[in-house]
Structure 1
C-alpha cells in the first residue's frame, strides 16, 4: 500500500529533513511540492523525483495525496494546517504549531472536525538518547527527578536558512513571532515535558536581541537569546537557555538531577548519555550522534508520522502536547 505526500513550503526544513525522509520511506510513492516561490518547489521536485503543485488548492484537492507536511513559516501554519485537515489530509506540522495558543487551538478544532491525524514535529523526542533517558527516568532507577537544566543554541538561522542571509524570515516579527524561543526553545520545553512526564507551569525569563542584526544592520525584531527559571506542576525546578549566538559548536545538552544520581545528555561527543551515581560510579552509553544543522541524519519523525497513518494510531506528538509547549513560550515572551 503506497500513497502520495504533499509538502507546503520548500525551504531548508523541507529540503534537509522532510523530503529526504519521505523519499526513503517505503510507503511513500511520490512527493508533491508547493511553495509560493515556484522555483523552490521545482528544485525540490527535481532533487527528489516528485512533482509541483502550482497552487495550494491543487495540492489540497489532489485525491492521491493522503498526508501533508506543513513546512511554511510560523505565521502561516494555522491557515495551511487547518485547510489541509479540513480538506481530508493528515498533517505533520512544523513547530511551533502556531504563533499563539489561540491560533493553535483553532488548528486543534480543525483537527477535531476533520477526524484526521495531526502530528507536530517536536523531533527531540525521537533521538535514541532521549528515548533511553526517558526509559531510565520511567523506571525510577535514580529515584525521583528533583531539578534539571537544558540548553539549545547554535550560531543562528541565517547560517541554516535557505537564503543563508540575515534577511531570513526567522528574524521578522510578523513571520517568526517568537524568535529563538519558538525556534529552539520550544523543542527543549517539549523535551522536558516528555522526559519528566510533567508540564512547566511557572516561568521567570529574560529575553533580548543581544547581537543579531537584520539586512539593514538594525537589531532584529525578535529575541536571539532567552534565559529562564522554570517550575513544573509536580514541583521540579529547572533552568533553560536558548540562543542564536553560540558562536562555536552547537549545544543541545540537558542534565537531569535525581535523588540517587545525575543523567547528562549530549554533554560528551563520544558518550551521548552519561549517568553519574551518588556513590561515584559512572555509566556511559554510546548511542548515536544527535542531528545538528551540520550533521543531517534521519530524525525518525517522518517514519513515525507515516506509521501512525498506516496503523491508524494516535500521533506520537499530539496537538495538545504542542499547545502545552506553546503556552510556556507565551509565558517566556510575556515575562519581561
Structure 2
C-alpha cells in the first residue's frame, strides 16, 4: 500500500501470535501483550481494532485520551451503550473513529449510489440487502475467532450483528442518515449444534416514511453473498457482488431495458480501509455525510441494531425516536 507502517501488534495469546508471525513472516518482537506496552514502545498515530467487538470500547478508552485515532472492524460496538461511550470519547479527544466494512470498498455499491444521485431510477421505495455465508464453523474460521464470534457477550449476538450491520450501514448511507420509523426483526437458530449461544439467521425490516428495507443476515446461506437490490419509482439497481451491477429501467407493465456493468476496483484511497484511514487522518480526504465508515452513520447503525435485537426478543416492532 505504501501509505502506512505497522509498528506494533497487540496479542496476549502468545501461541497465536507466534503462529501468525511464522505464517506472515513478521518478527515476534513486534507483538506486545497489552495496548499500554505497545503504545509506550511505538507511539502510534492510529490503531486498528480487529479483535472481539466487546474490546472496541477498551481500545478507544486507551487510545483516545492519547490522541490516537481508531478504526474498528464492523460493527462499531457490542451494544448501543458501548457505542455512546466510544462516541463521547472520540468527540472529547477529537480523534477520528471509523468503522470498516468489506462492502464499503465494493465498486458496485459506489456505482449504485452514483446512479441514485443522478436520479437514474427515481426515489428509493424498497431495498433488499442480503449478507452472509454458510456459518463460521462450516467455512472453517480458526478456533480463536470462532470462540468469540459465537459468543453473545463478545460479539453482541450472532448473525444479527455479524451480518445485519452490513445492510443497516448501507441503508443508512443510501437514506443519508434518515432514521426509520420502526424496526422489526425475527431471528432463528437453525444450527444449534454449531451456534448454541446465538442466533444464526436474522431478518430485519426497516420502515421509513416513504421507503422500506428488508435486511437478510444469515449464517445459513448455501453460498457466501453480499448483494443488494434498490427499487426506485422508475427502475431497479442490482448490485450482484463486488464487481457486477445491473440496472433495469421499467417499460410498460413488466418490460424493461437492462444495462450491465463489470466494474474495476475503486481508485486509491477508496480501495482499502487502511489507505482510506490514513488519508482521513492526514486530511487528504473529508468524509462525506453519512459515509459508511463515519461515526455518524455507525451511531445510527447501533441504534437500529439495538432496536432489532429488542424486537427479536419481544416479537414486536420498535419505534425509534428522532434525533
Q: Structure 1 length as normaliser, TM-score? A: 0.81
- Whether the 8 Å contact between 1:161 and 1:168 is mirrored in structure 2 is no
Counterpart contact for 2:239–2:246, Cα < 8 Å: yes
2:134 to 140, 148, 155: 155
Structure 2: give runs of 5+ residues left out of the alignment.
316-323
Partners of 2:244 and 2:200 in 1: CA distance:
27
On the 8 A contact 1:177/1:222 being kept in 2, the answer is no
Corresponding residue for residue 197 of structure 2: 221
Q: Residues 78-97 of structure 1: matches in 2 within 5 Å?
A: 78-97=57-76
Cα distance, 1:301 vs. partner?
1.4
| Deviation string, structure 1 residues 58-117 (Cα, Å, up to 9, x no partner) | 112235411100112011111112211222211111122111111111111111122221
Q: After superposition, where does 1:29-44 map in structure 2 within 5 Å?
A: 29-44=5-20
1:173 deviation in Å?
1.7
Rounded to whole Å, the distance in 2 between the matches of 1:312 and 1:275 is 33
The equivalent residue for 2:321 is: none
Q: CA 1:66/1:289 → structure 2, altered by over 3 Å: closer, same or farther?
A: closer
For structure 1, which segment, 68-77 or 78-87, has the greater mean C-alpha deviation from structure 2 after superposition? 78-87
CA RMSD of superposed structures (Å): 2.4
User: Aligned equivalents of 2:179 and 2:224: distance in 1?
Assistant: 26
SS of residue in 1 equivalent to 2:51: coil
- C-alpha distance in 2 between matches for 1:55 and 1:204: 40
SS at match of 2:143: coil
Which position in structure 1 is the counterpart of 2:98? 119
1:222 to 1:236, Cα distance in 2 relative to 1, 3 A: same
Per-residue Cα deviation, 1:267-297 (whole angstroms, up to 9, x for no partner): 6x9x71101111221100011599xxxxxxx
Would the alpha carbon gap of residues 94 and 224 (structure 1) be closer, same or farther in structure 2, given more than 3 Å must change? same
Q: For 1:160 and 1:308, how far apart are their aligned partners in 2?
A: 34
**CA distance 1:27–1:303, change in 2 (3 Å):** closer
Give secondary structure in 1 for the equivalent of 2:154.
helix
For this pair of structures, how many residues does the alignment match?
296
In structure 2, the partner of 1:17 is: none
Partner of 1:243: 218
Q: CA deviation at 1:147?
A: 1.0
